[in-house]
Structure 1
Amino acid sequence: MKPDFPFYAGLPVHLNGRHWLMLMAALVLAFGILALLPLQGFPQSLIPALLFVILPLLALRRVAGPHWTALFGPVGLRQLGQMVAFAALTLVGSLAMGLILSQFVTFSHNPVAVSLGSMTAPELVARLIPTLPQLVGEELLGILPFLAVLWVCVTRMHLSRRVGIMLALVISSLLFGAAHLPTYDWNWAQALIGIGTARVLLTLAYIVTRNLWVSAGAHVLNDWTGFLFAFAVGHAPIGTSA
């Protein structure tokens, strides 16, 4: 039988309200460092990306002890296949939602994707390396609030687990989308609906597998597909007329 989600219902360790506040504070601090204290150039750019992962995990280790690893599962061929499948689902779902939204709103460009078109191959590699820990951090930004809201719904509001999961999925995805507002020039529809839709699909990867490595792998594959496409388009040969 698939294990239940960790932490929200006392397993594998009990977390109280103070513990969840500590985890959320660590996430806010880590995200603030990433967003407000960017370091340009490699390897300096690794520092905020690594802190984005390390600070929430240290907080989780503080409140959950050795059980902090319950967020993660094994990685084998099955999990790699799940990463690919959920990355494809996220890509298709994001494109579909993008097409729908484009009928009603004007999109803002992701500055990272725009910059990739003019980079050399070594610059591209240097830019992509820090995204590995950063995207794992983004999964913590998505999954820990999901579990926190689930804890509130089930433990404090005494809602059913099913209702708690649905509410946690929606609320955590909206929060994740809101965190991307500055990236997209405060375009609320693009951040909350567009990015929120991608977050829903990535969180589904965790809900199905109970393994943050799977949702993180799917996130990396999804984002890197977009980055590499932007790089390829920027370096495509331009035909000239005779």
Structure 2
Amino acid sequence: MADSGPDFPYCGATPDAVNGRGWLILLASLALAFAALTLLPRGPFPWSFLPALLFLSIPLAALRRVTGPHWLALFRRVRLTDIGLMILFAIATLASSLAVALVLLQVSPMAANPLSGTMGALTAGELAMLLLPTLPQLVGEELLGILPFLAVLWLCVSKLRLSRITGIMIGLAVSSLIFGAAHLPTYDWNFAQALLVIGSARVILTLAYIVTRNLWVSAGAHVLNDWAGFLAIFALGHMPVGPG
């Protein structure tokens, strides 16, 4: 994998560089945010936003504390080409996870996403109230994917003196496994599904960030991927049933 793009934020000899203590703070903030997302009760709309907002705001607050004015370095201006890349990476993510799932289905059953079982019985308004809180949650999931990737890249390059390409490859693997493991409770502790299906999707989404250095692009691809699946299930559940 060739990588001739600009330095990643927080990793190099730049004013926004994060030290070891800073990375520990950021990773701890992700753990706290994930606990808030998974342990807080989800009330009715609009209270359903609270866990998702905490999931997003806790690591952002930690990033602001650690990097000061550079906390927005993960986010760049979205151009028209970036919107096209969101769509392309969303399609690639869907295709990758589907291909891995089809292979795994030959040897092991897959667990359904808990949300998918409710889609068929929802009205359009109820669907909107269900999906809207996933917007901050999915941006938070991108922080859960990208910050560990950058932390491992920093460790590999700054401390272990490995090449940047090697650091990227190791960071991709480690962050994808972490992201997949975070989905174990969602998929009934199916390790193959969480680590391989979800993990492969994470690889594609992180590649969207690597290509663009813009978390908005990977977040946009993530939203498009997840919402496409939910909307497809909703549409199938509301198809008219023929006579007989």
Same-fold call, TM cutoff 0.5: yes
Contact 2:9 2:17 in 1 (8 A): no
Match of 1:6 in 2: 9
Provide, for residues 173-212 of structure 1, a one-character-per-residue CA deviation record: whole Å limited to 9, x for no partner.
0000000000000000000000000000000000000000
Provide, for residues 198-227 of structure 1, a one-character-per-residue CA deviation record: whole Å limited to 9, x for no partner.
000000000000000000000000000000
How far residue 110 of structure 1 moved from its aligned partner, in angstroms, is 0.5
The amino acid across from 2:192 in the alignment is A
How far residue 156 of structure 1 moved from its aligned partner, in angstroms, is 1.5
1:153-168 equivalences under 5 Å are 153-168=156-171
Which of 217-226 and 66-75 deviates more? 66-75
Provide, for residues 103-130 of structure 1, a one-character-per-residue CA deviation record: whole Å limited to 9, x for no partner.
1110011001111121111100000100
TM, length-normalised to structure 1? 0.97
The amino acid across from 1:20 in the alignment is W
How far residue 10 of structure 1 moved from its aligned partner, in angstroms, is 3.2
2:130 is aligned, of 127, 130, 142, to: 127
SS at match of 1:118: coil
2:205 is aligned, of 202, 206, 229, to: 202
The amino acid across from 1:124 in the alignment is L
How far residue 3 of structure 1 moved from its aligned partner, in angstroms, is 2.2
Contact 1:6 1:12 in 2 (8 A): no
2:113 maps to 1:104: no
2:66 maps to 1:55: no
SS at match of 1:111: coil
How far apart, in 2, do the equivalents of 1:226 and 1:49 lie?
20
How far apart, in 1, do the equivalents of 2:243 and 2:8 lie?
57
Match of 1:28 in 2: 31
2:98 maps to 1:95: yes
How far apart, in 1, do the equivalents of 2:140 and 2:41 lie?
15
Match of 2:148 in 1: 145
How far residue 38 of structure 1 moved from its aligned partner, in angstroms, is 2.9
How far residue 150 of structure 1 moved from its aligned partner, in angstroms, is 0.6
Which of 135-144 and 92-101 deviates more? 92-101
The amino acid across from 1:147 in the alignment is L
Determine what percentage of the aligned residue pairs are the same residue: 63
Gaps of 5+ in 2: none
The amino acid across from 1:138 in the alignment is E
TM, length-normalised to structure 2? 0.96
How far apart, in 1, do the equivalents of 2:43 and 2:116 lie?
16
Match of 2:172 in 1: 169
Q: Which contiguous aligned blocks of 4+ residues in structure 1 show a shift greater than 6 angstroms? A: none
1:187 is aligned, of 186, 190, 194, to: 190
Query: Structure 1 residues 33 and 218, CA, compared in 2 at 3 Å: closer, same or farther?
Result: same
**Equivalent residue pairs, number:** 241
2:68 maps to 1:72: no
